[in-house]
Amino acid sequence: MSREPNTWCRVCGAAYFHCTDCERVRSWRTVCDTPAHFQLFLILHEYREAGDASAARAALDHIGFPGADFSVLLPEIQQIINEIIKEK
């Protein structure tokens, strides 16, 4: 079985491999390259759906994200995070 990258992380853009079992069981690996990026993906998805910046900030705080370096993330992800952080 080839381990060549066959998809990309929706949070950071990194190429990575996931197998067909990931698709079948709807694993986080179908969307992101790491569990931490999947957590972030879910928080941002919920924010885009509900528009609740306060809840999104609390969730980001809970996973320790505001202190993290998010310069490695895709520009559109950085933009959403900045929007959440700045919205009071």
Q: What is the pLDDT of residues 25-35, one digit of tens each?
A: 989 999 999 99
Question: Would residue 2 count as lying in a domain?
Answer: no
Helices (H) and strands (E) in the chain, counts: 4, 2
pTM of the predicted protein model:
0.88
Question: Would residue 33 count as lying in a domain?
Answer: yes
Question: Would residue 17 count as lying in a domain?
Answer: yes
pLDDT at position 71: 87
As for how many domains the chain has, the answer is 1
User: Is residue 68 pLDDT above 80, yes or no?
Assistant: no
pLDDT at position 2: 65
Range of the domain at 80: 7-86
Q: What percentage of the chain carries pLDDT values higher than 90? A: 72
CA 42 to chain centre: 6
User: Is residue 11 pLDDT above 60, yes or no?
Assistant: yes
Question: Would residue 56 count as lying in a domain?
Answer: yes
User: Is residue 54 pLDDT above 90, yes or no?
Assistant: yes
Question: Would residue 68 count as lying in a domain?
Answer: yes
Question: Would residue 1 count as lying in a domain?
Answer: no
